[in-house]
């Protein structure tokens, strides 16, 4: 029973390139959350998705960032025209239900470095 799988673990992009981060939730989970962790900081909520729907993107930057969770396949966090300030660890979490007490299982994160 695989956990939440994120790939790649490490991603290096030059300024102006696009970054695509993938997250495969745990089997049976239809709720996906993306978080960003800057150095020396806690995780910050970015977006919450269910299959084919963005439920809450209040934590997403208004420009250059987008997320999707298609009917088939992993959830994708896409960052266009990356800048140095996008360098961070990006975590995905999944859960099987919407309730606040439902445990969210985290992946190991993707560390994005923009050079």
- Scanning the structure block, which residue is given the tokens 């994120």? 6
Check binding of 62 to another protein (CB under 8 A). no
Which of positions 1-40 make contact with another protein (CB under 8 A)? 31, 33, 35, 40
- Is there a contact between 32 and 38 (Cβ–Cβ < 8 Å)? no
Nearest alpha-carbon partner for 90 in 41, 37, 46, 40: 37
| Closest alpha carbon to 67 in 58, 79, 84, 81 | 79
At residue 16, the 3 state secondary structure works out as coil
- Site for another protein contains 75 (CB under 8 A): no
Q: Which residue has the tokens 């969210």?
A: 104
Is 91 a binding residue for another protein by CB under 8 A? The answer is yes
In this chain, which of 2, 14, 39, 42 binds another protein, going by CB under 8 A? 42
For tokens 């991603």, name the residue: 11
Answer yes or no whether residue 108 interacts with another protein by CB under 8 A: yes
Residue with tokens 């490490």: 10
What's the min distance (Å) between Cβ of 20 and another protein?
19
Q: Among 41, 52, 81, 115, which residue interacts with another protein (rule: CB under 8 A)?
A: 41
Smallest distance from another protein to CB 86, Å: 18
Which of 11, 20, 22, 59 is close enough to bind another protein by CB under 8 A? 59
Minimum CB–partner distance for residue 16 and another protein (Å): 27
């Amino acid at each position: 029973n695989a956990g939440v799988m994120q790939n790649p673990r490490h991603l290096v992009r030059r300024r102006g390139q696009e970054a695509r981060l993938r997250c495969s939730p745990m089997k049976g989970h239809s709720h996906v959350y993306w978080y960003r962790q800057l150095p020396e900081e806690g995780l910050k909520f970015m977006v919450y998705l269910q299959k084919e729907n963005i439920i809450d993107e209040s934590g997403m930057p208004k420009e250059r960032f987008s997320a999707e969770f298609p009917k088939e396949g992993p959830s994708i966090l896409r960052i266009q025209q990356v800048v140095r300030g996008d360098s961070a660890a990006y975590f995905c979490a999944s859960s099987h239900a919407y309730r606040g007490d439902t445990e969210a299982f985290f992946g190991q994160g993707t560390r994005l470095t923009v050079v």
